[in-house]
């Protein structure tokens, strides 16, 4: 076990390491597809979204519907980005508050962000999450017989 003494914890799949804040932020900036978790009356919900993170805030577009209704009832959210790697997976979880952008200058700025382009046939709103915490973790598949499992 000596070689793993620096690990923070174990998952049932293998060792877990905390990523540095800089590493977690870099992963958020490099990716553009994540998952929003909201909670209304104790019922969690998950929505996949395309987003942009500029180092300060996460911005995504939302059509009118369940997601916006939920955010109006409870703006406290979690946001997650993850990916599989050759030997496991990483995950970055952001806690924060989601606000709908209403000021013209904010909306104009958001229109210029590198979000996926599309023909705007449907109404939409920009939502911004300012993180209160960012936590990144790496999940390593434990090696059995010299090779990573699954």
Sites of contact with a copy of itself (CB under 8 A):
1, 9-14, 32-33, 35, 37-39, 42-46, 48, 50, 61-63, 65, 74, 76-80, 82, 84, 89, 91, 93, 95, 116-122, 124, 139, 141-142, 144, 149-150
The C-alpha atoms of residue 82 and residue 45 are separated, in whole angstroms, by 17
Residue 10 CB, nearest approach to a copy of itself (Å): 4
Asked if 52 contacts 62 with a C-beta cutoff of 8 angstroms, the reply is: no
Sign of CA dihedral 45, 71, 63, 78: negative
CB of 47 to a copy of itself, least distance (A): 8
Least Å from the CB of residue 105 to a copy of itself? 20
Give least dist CB 80 to a copy of itself, A: 4
Q: Indicate the pairing of strand 125-140 with strand 14-18.
A: antiparallel
Residue nearer to a copy of itself on the CB measure, 30 or 84: 84
Which residue number, 25 or 79, has a Cβ lying nearer to a copy of itself? 79
The set of residues, in sequence order, having a beta carbon less than 8 Å from that of 101 and lying 6+ positions away, is 59, 107, 110, 125, 126, 127, 128
Bridge-based pairing state of the strands 76-85 and 33-40: antiparallel
């Amino acid at each position: 076990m000596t070689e793993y003494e620096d690990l923070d914890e174990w998952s049932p799949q293998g060792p877990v390491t905390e990523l540095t804040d800089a590493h977690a932020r870099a992963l958020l900036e490099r990716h553009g597809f994540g998952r929003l978790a909201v909670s209304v009356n104790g019922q969690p919900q998950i929505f996949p979204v395309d987003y942009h993170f500029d180092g300060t805030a996460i911005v995504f577009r939302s059509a009118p519907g369940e997601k916006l209704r939920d955010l109006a009832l409870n703006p406290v959210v979690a946001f997650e980005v993850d990916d599989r790697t050759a030997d496991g997976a990483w995950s970055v979880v952001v806690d924060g508050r989601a606000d709908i952008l209403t000021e013209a200058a904010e909306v104009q700025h958001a229109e210029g962000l590198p979000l996926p382009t599309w023909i705007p046939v449907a109404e939409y709103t920009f939502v911004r999450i300012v993180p209160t915490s960012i936590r990144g973790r790496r999940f390593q598949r434990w090696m059995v017989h010299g090779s990573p499992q699954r």
